Amino acid sequence: MIEKPVLLLKSDTVPNSSVVVTSVSDSSGNPVVVALHLSRNNGFDVVTRIASLYGKENSRNFIADQLIRSSAVDIVVIDSVAALTPKAEL
């Protein structure tokens, strides 16, 4: 599940940690997010602990917010209001 992530973000709250957004969905259709603790070993980041694994509601908002906070991109374009609306409300 974490071999081919959809998105890998540096954690805002925990040092030496990352958040992985996977292509797997939970029973409600939300993307599964994995919080990982990492250590550096011979120039590579190595997963030392899976801190949590859960379906993320409002994942589009979460991903857009994380991209903006990370300064990884200059602009985030959301192509529709539906992209910001949880599936259960559509």
Angle among Cα 7, 36, 22 to the nearest 5 degrees reads: 30
Query: Which pLDDT does position 19 carry in this prediction?
Result: 81
**Termini Cα distance of the chain:** 28
Residue 89 has pLDDT above 60, yes or no: no
Which residue's structure tokens are 């539906």?
A: 82
On whether the pTM is more than 0.75, the answer is no
- In order of 49, 80, 89, the CA distances from 22 in angstroms are 17, 22, 23
pLDDT value at 54 more than 60: yes
What is residue 72's predicted lDDT score, i.e. its pLDDT?
A: 67
CB 31 within 8 Å of CB 54: no
Instruction: Judge residue 70's burial from the number of C-beta atoms within 10 Å of its C-beta, 0-12 exposed, 13-18 middle, 19 or more buried.
Output: exposed
Tens-digit pLDDT profile for residues 21-49: 777 888 888 888 888 888 888 888 888 88
